[in-house]
Structure 1
Amino acid sequence: SGLEAALGEVIPLSGYSPASQWVYLYLTGPNLPENGVPLNDVTRRADQGAFTKVSVDGNDYWSYKWNTGNVNGKLDEGTYTIWVVNGPNDRSNLAHADYRTISVRLGKPYVAVDSVQVNGAMEISSNPSGARVTVNGQDRGATPLTVSDLRPGSYQVAFTLPGYYEFSTPVTVEAGRISEVKATLAALPVPTPTTELPATVPATAAPSATPSTTKTTHAAGMVPAVLTGIAGVALLMRMRT
Structure 2
Amino acid sequence: MRLQDKTAIVTGAASGFGAGIARRFLAEGARVMLADINEQAALDVAAEYGGLGQHVDVADGDSVAAMIDRATELMGGVDILVNNAGVTHLPAPMEEVSEADFDRVFAVNCKSVYLAARSLVPQFKERGSGTILNIASTAGVSPRPRLNWYNASKGWMNTATKAMAVELAPFGIRVNALNPVAGETPLLKSFLGEDTPEMRAKFLSTIPLGRFSTPEDLANAALFLCSDEAALITGVCMEVDGGRCI
Q: Same fold (TM over 0.5)?
A: no
Structure of higher RCO (CA pairs closer than 8 Å, 6+ residues apart): 2
Q: How high is the TM-score relative to the length of structure 2?
A: 0.16
Larger Rg: 1
Task: Name the one with the larger strand percent.
Answer: 1
Task: Name the one with the larger helix percent.
Answer: 2
